[in-house]
Amino acid sequence: MVRGLVQCEWQKVALHELTARTFVLNFQGAKAAIDAELSTCYIRAAWQVLWIFSEDYGLKPDEIETECDGLSAGDFAHVPYETNDHEAAHLLHYLKPEHNGLHVRTGQERFVDVEFRHRELFAFTCEAYSRVMRHRERKSRVSFAEKMREGAFSFPRGHIEEVAALVLNAARARNGWRVIHEASVIHKIRRHAKTVGR
């Protein structure tokens, strides 16, 4: 995902940031995640991490809702068992390369500048396309993507049609990550100098 979405000279830093900022919510990971969230003074996220962790042990109060496969809360991502491409995608469109001393062009702010209204589409599509990419052969990837609309039970109904169509287009394309990138990034308006005729 990083290789497909992030420009070459930023990829190493982006991968390091994703690794350092993602917590797997086992006992040690949950404690580290809560400490990290408390350091940002974002107490609501710290509570959410605690409830997600507690749910596995039957310690979460019934009135607390935690139906999620992970949590992205600003600077960090928290996942129940393993790295989650959905949460990693959210970090890519949240984190700023300039905070790591990387050269940023004018008008570019994030590792992947995603249009705010497309942020969930971007994250769900990255998660789905990562599953598609586990199939080595192109024909197998396309076949898997064609079944996604009916078989993708883990995606919200409100997003499944758009995600499935975008993932299928990506699977058929030569560079699927570029298809996803183009569908969700902020398109800069290029200003052309006006020529004044005499």
Q: Is residue 82 very low, low, confident or very high in pLDDT (cuts 50, 70, 90)?
A: low
pLDDT digits (tens, 9 = 90+) for 31-77: 999 999 899 877 888 888 888 888 877 778 788 876 666 777 678 88
Cβ atoms 88, 77 nearer than 8 A:
yes
Res 4: pLDDT: 94
Length of the chain (residues): 198
pLDDT confidence of residue 146:
92
Task: Considering only residues 176 and 76, tell me which one the structure prediction assigns the higher pLDDT.
Answer: 176
The better pLDDT of the pair 155, 138 is held by 138
Of 155, 10, 28, 36, give the one whose Cα is nearest residue 85.
155
Confidence category of residue 196, pLDDT binned at 50, 70, 90:
very low
Residue for token digits 């509570």? 47
What is the CA angle 150-156-159, rounded to 5?
80
What's the start-to-end Cα distance of the chain, in Å?
52
Mean pLDDT check: name the lowest of 133-137, 164-168, 184-188: 184-188
- Please tell me the predicted confidence (pLDDT) of residue 122: 94
